[in-house]
Structure 1
Amino acid sequence: MGSFSIWHWLIVLVIVALIFGTKKLRNIGEDLGGAVKGFKKGMNEAKDESQPSVTQQVQDSSTIDVQAKEKSDA
């Protein structure tokens, strides 16, 4: 009663492919991958909104400084 061998997993994979078909399995995989990407993007956006990083603050202030210099030179 140990773990299954590679042959057991191959047989299960073949049976699943026969039942659902490869196109349906590919579509399920794409949908699942899109959901995971969307979840990660949402988590990163929520993290960015709640606590701006130091690099963003430095980039924002340097952009403002450059724009101020360009206006004073003109």
Structure 2
Amino acid sequence: MGIGGISIWQLLIVLVIVALIFGTKKLRGVGSDLGGAVKGFKKAINDDQKENDDVVEEAEKAETESK
């Protein structure tokens, strides 16, 4: 038994049917779009983390200078 009660053969049959219905070019385009969206999401998270680190660093500097 595979993932959630679906065997590997059932999964392969479903993937073949989807490829036949939509075509490989359209699936490739969807994959590229999805990859770009994930990449953009990761970049946004990293940029936000850097911004938060900068704010914390500036607050620590201000606190140290005021003492």
- How much identity, in percent, do the aligned residues show? 69
| Counterpart check, 1:32 vs 2:34 | yes
- The superposition leaves residues 2-35 of structure 1 with CA deviations (integer Å, 9 ceiling, x where unpaired) of 6111110111001000010000000000000000
Structure with the greater alpha carbon radius of gyration: 1
The whole-number CA distance in structure 1 between the counterparts of 2:8 and 2:26 is 24
| Counterpart check, 1:49 vs 2:55 | no
Where does the alignment leave 5 or more consecutive residues of structure 2 unmatched?
A: 55-67
Which of these residues, 8, 17, 23, is aligned with residue 19 of structure 2?
17
Using the size of structure 1 for normalisation, the TM-score is 0.65
Report how many aligned residue pairs link the two structures: 51
Using the size of structure 2 for normalisation, the TM-score is 0.71
The whole-number CA distance in structure 1 between the counterparts of 2:8 and 2:49 is 41
Q: Secondary structure of the equivalent of 1:47? A: helix
